[in-house]
Amino acid sequence: MPPASTSASRPITQAEGAPARVGRRRQLGKRETLFHQGDPATHLFRIDEGTVALEQYLEDGRRQLVELLLPGDICGLSTAGAYSATGIALQPTRLVAASMAELEQHPRLGWAIMRQLQAQLSTSHAHLLAVGRMDAAGRVSALLSRFANLNKPAEADEAHDGIALHIPLTRGEMGDYLGLSLETVCRVMSELERNGVLEIGRHHGDVIIRDFGKLHRLAN
Amino acid sequence: MPPASTSASRPITQAEGAPARVGRRRQLGKRETLFHQGDPATHLFRIDEGTVALEQYLEDGRRQLVELLLPGDICGLSTAGAYSATGIALQPTRLVAASMAELEQHPRLGWAIMRQLQAQLSTSHAHLLAVGRMDAAGRVSALLSRFANLNKPAEADEAHDGIALHIPLTRGEMGDYLGLSLETVCRVMSELERNGVLEIGRHHGDVIIRDFGKLHRLAN
DNA sequence: CGCGTTGTTGAATCGGTTCAAACATTGTGG
DNA sequence: CCACAATGTTTGAACCGATTCAACAACGCG
């Protein structure tokens, strides 16, 4: 009994030629939990707007942000019956939720979702390279670079105004994503500001990238 | 924790009900390259036996083993047109290769491959947790634990004989997988031997796990 | 059997963590 | 709407785990 949503909502994936309208729209507020690690895994989600973090914990409370999901990314599927991480919206987020049973009625969707997962696995590899082999400045720069690429304005504007970002992670969350302490993230951000790479706004999360070239170089 | 993937089947994936025989079998020798980072991505591969490492490099030559592929695991698909990492067989390896065009003729396969990718993404998450938040002993233990789980004998035998492993990675490769220097891997292995957790055989790669409980505890 | 590769161990150094003490921003209830 | 509490940020100083550099030992392939 899936109530066909007749709105302009995009299906769980934009499979060309088969405009299947699958899934139910949902909205999450800031820091709202989508699912908890260990909960029975029932749905697959696709982010339409916003950011979701997947977190895992060690017994002693240490945390790792295991994936940062941006619009277009999917999550929720689990091989075992339970979610292997906790999903939390880092900012107000729109997404689509669909059950596997529902999805499997659209056979061509499998390939599209597979390709998306492949892309996310690639992103995960790049992130592992950063965490495993780059120093603190490199890791922070890699994260900022990723957000900067989302908001990149025309080249002309970039030169004058820089790239204005809103990073929806606290320093602690950045650290837990990058395998660093929050203090180290702070120090690196301050250092980048001193070097003219960026400017830290007064409001939490606001950053202006002043020298994207240098940032990008640090991230490699 | 994703399930130990153990499939000895012929087709690229064990799609139930559709015994499609897709793909061409291949054999690789020790340290043979399957594909290079940057090569045009034409095929998807599934490991049947052996081990393949996916490697990425930084300009200055630093290396990260970004994924360790065991039997049942797949690789090779790329969102962009090129492989994003280099695939190298760490030991003699059997696998199946199939082109995407070939695969897409079997619609139900999409879902099976998607599920497998999801399992590998979960493994990747667990590994990121290790590299991001565990100390050297924890990371090495996590890696050994993973191999130990593949070769686990009956409980009775384990108690007497321990678990005999062959780790197909050099110390340097272990380090590049775990984000450690090869010297640190050495020191941790020696320390684990001194503590009675394992025994290092005289032949390269041979290890006997003597106290799996302690090893497992270190890996958490 | 011999030489290149891989593994082991020590000592000095360094990047990042931890602990601690302010300060700023945000969110809430009166 | 203001005041205050809670949360997030910044910086300093001491410490520590891992890296680096170096020397040597053990494998293992031809």
pLDDT by residue (tens digit) across B146-193? 999 998 877 777 777 899 999 999 999 999 999 999 999 999 999 999
Would you place residue A5 in the very low, low, confident or very high pLDDT band (cuts 50, 70, 90)? very low
Tell me the pLDDT of chain B averaged across its residues: 90
Nucleotide nearest to A184 (CA to C1'): C16
Closest Cα in chain A, distance from residue B160 (Å)? 30
Residue of chain B minimizing CA distance to A105: B108
Instruction: Provide the pLDDT for residue A161.
Output: 83
Q: What is the mean pLDDT of residues A12-40?
A: 80
Closest Cα in chain B, distance from residue A76 (Å)? 9
Q: A-contacting residues of B 17-46, CB under 8 Å?
A: none
Instruction: Provide the pLDDT for residue A3.
Output: 42
Cα separation, B96 vs B169, whole angstroms: 22
Q: Quick check: B117 contacting A, CB < 8 Å?
A: yes
Cα separation, A209 vs A63, whole angstroms: 28
Instruction: Provide the pLDDT for residue A13.
Output: 53
- As a whole-number percent, the residues of chain B with pLDDT over 70 amount to 91
Least confident of A70-74, A111-115, B62-66: A111-115
Helix, strand, coil percent values for chain A (each to nearest 5) = 35, 25, 40
Q: How far is the CA of A136 from the C1' of C13 (A)?
A: 18
Place of tokens 């820091």: A31
H-assigned helices in B65-150: 100-103, 109-133, 136-150
Which residues have C-beta within 8 Å of that of residue A82, sequence separation ≥ 6? A37, A38, A39, A40, A41
Give the SS3 label for residue B5: coil
Instruction: Provide the pLDDT for residue A39.
Output: 95
Instruction: Provide the pLDDT for residue B20.
Output: 52
Q: What is the mean pLDDT of residues A115-121?
A: 95
Q: B-contacting residues of A 65-104, CB under 8 Å?
A: 66-67, 77-80, 84-85, 104
Residue A72 token pair: 């277009």
| The pLDDT of residue A17 is above 60 | no
Q: What is the mean pLDDT of residues A33-41?
A: 95
Question: Are the C-beta atoms of A76 and A37 separated by less than 8 Å?
Answer: no
Q: Quick check: B200 contacting A, CB < 8 Å?
A: no
Would you place residue A9 in the very low, low, confident or very high pLDDT band (cuts 50, 70, 90)? very low
Using CB atoms within 10 Å of the CB of residue A19, give its burial: 0 to 12 exposed, 13 to 18 middle, 19+ buried: exposed
Residue A108 token pair: 């061509």
| The pLDDT of residue B41 is above 60 | yes
| The pLDDT of residue B10 is above 60 | no
Residue B208 token pair: 């006997």
For chain A, list the strands marked E by DSSP.
24-28, 33-35, 43-49, 52-57, 63-69, 74-75, 86-89, 93-99, 163-166, 198-200, 206-209
| pLDDT tens string B17-29 | 444 578 999 999 9
Q: What is the mean pLDDT of residues A174-196?
A: 98
Would you place residue B6 in the very low, low, confident or very high pLDDT band (cuts 50, 70, 90)? very low
Instruction: Provide the pLDDT for residue B17.
Output: 44
Instruction: Provide the pLDDT for residue A20.
Output: 52
Q: How far is the CA of A47 from the C1' of C4 (A)?
A: 53
> In degrees, to the nearest 5, what angle opens at C-alpha A70 toward C-alphas A118 and A125?
40
Phi/psi at B15 (5° precision): -70, 120
Q: Quick check: B217 contacting A, CB < 8 Å?
A: no
Sheet holding A206-209, edge to edge: A163-166, A206-209, A198-200
CB–CB of A115 and B77 under 8 A? Answer: yes
Which residues have C-beta within 8 Å of that of residue B182, sequence separation ≥ 6? B170, B171, B172, B174, B175
Place of tokens 């995407």: B100
Instruction: Provide the pLDDT for residue A151.
Output: 84
Cα separation, B180 vs B176, whole angstroms: 6
Using CB atoms within 10 Å of the CB of residue B96, give its burial: 0 to 12 exposed, 13 to 18 middle, 19+ buried: buried
- Give residue A129's Cα distance to chain centre: 17
Cα separation, B79 vs A119, whole angstroms: 6
Q: Is 0.85 surpassed by the pTM of this model?
A: yes
| The pLDDT of residue B196 is above 50 | yes
HSE-up (13 A, CA, CB side) for residue A28: 25
Would you place residue A179 in the very low, low, confident or very high pLDDT band (cuts 50, 70, 90)? very high
Instruction: Provide the pLDDT for residue B3.
Output: 44
CB–CB of B58 and A110 under 8 A? Answer: no
Residue of chain A minimizing CA distance to B129: A64
Question: Are the C-beta atoms of A174 and A141 separated by less than 8 Å?
Answer: no
Tell me the pLDDT of chain A averaged across its residues: 90
